[in-house]
Amino acid sequence: MVKSLLLNVICLLALALGAAQNASAQEAAESDQPPENYILSNDGIDLVVPMAYMDPVYHYSKQQVWVYLSYPDFQVLDIENRELAEKMAAGEIIDMIVSKVPEGKEKAVALSKALKSNKADHKVGDEFGLTHYQQSNEALAHLSDIWVDPAGEGSYIICNEGDKSTCTHYLYLDNFYMLIFYPKSELQHWAKIKEQSTAVYNHFKNPEN
């Protein structure tokens, strides 16, 4: 009788242990799956970034996320990693970094520092609705030109030399800033790119809207 009871207890313990092991294995498997969203937080603002926006590279950290979108429609990509470089070179992809504002890059000082570091001290005039600055010293003409958004210091664009170079649009929103990369040939469309990029940011900020 006692032996029978002991066998029953042993069987029950074995079943319980097996169930626990299965549950642990399932939890481990689930934890290995990438999350659907990544949350980037700064000073009380949470950006909920769907992982699909980071496909196919998935570059993110506590400081920033790197987003890839098709251009000009600003849709989530559905491509293989090997296709990324080719499509970016063809101007079919806009990529952007959404980042916490690092020390020394605060909105109030960022533009003046950019103008100073690129020796862009000469106001050329208006271009595409932007104010264009370049170097007054021709020996420094290899440095980047800067185009300033009339909306204010929180939006400006730095482009490398040459028509086939890349532009980086610095756009400050709340306590984050975005670095938006696109070919210089698309500079004339900067306002639309800014509008669409801001809409993407607002979607991250208010995912239910």
Contact 120, 182 (CB under 8 A): no
Whether 27 and 115 share a structural domain: no
Whether 114 and 198 share a structural domain: yes
Whether 41 and 25 share a structural domain: no
Q: Output the pLDDT for position 26.
A: 54
37-42 and 155-159: which strand pairing?
unpaired
User: pLDDT by residue (tens digit) across 118-145?
Assistant: 999 999 999 999 999 999 999 999 999 9
Whether 166 and 63 share a structural domain: yes
Whether 48 and 77 share a structural domain: yes
Residues with Cβ within 8 Å of 81's Cβ and at least 6 positions away in sequence, in order, are 56, 57
Q: Structural domain tally of the chain? A: 2
In the numeric block, which tokens belong to residue 104? 């020394």
Whether 107 and 148 share a structural domain: yes
Q: Output the pLDDT for position 90.
A: 87
Whether 17 and 105 share a structural domain: no
Question: What sign for the dihedral angle of Cα 141, 142, 147, 152?
Answer: negative
Whether 28 and 41 share a structural domain: no
Whether 83 and 184 share a structural domain: yes
Whether 95 and 16 share a structural domain: no
- 4-29 burial code (b ≥16 CB/10 A, e <16): eeeeeeeeeeeeeeeeeeeeeeeeee
Domain housing 131: 37-205
Whether 122 and 186 share a structural domain: yes
CA separation for the pair 88, 86 (Å, rounded)? 5
CB atoms within 10 A of CB 54: 19
Q: Output the pLDDT for position 31.
A: 52
CB atoms within 10 A of CB 191: 13
What residue has token string 């991250």? 204
Whether 22 and 41 share a structural domain: no
Residue of 117, 162, 148 lying closest to 135 (CA atoms): 117
66 dihedral zone (left: phi>0; alpha: psi -120 to 50; beta): beta
CA separation for the pair 16, 9 (Å, rounded)? 10
Give the alpha-carbon dihedral of 183, 49, 172, 178, to 10 degrees: -30
Question: What sign for the dihedral angle of Cα 78, 79, 84, 87?
Answer: negative
Q: What is the SS3 assignment for 24?
A: helix
Regions of the chain where pLDDT drops below 70: 1-34, 162-163, 209
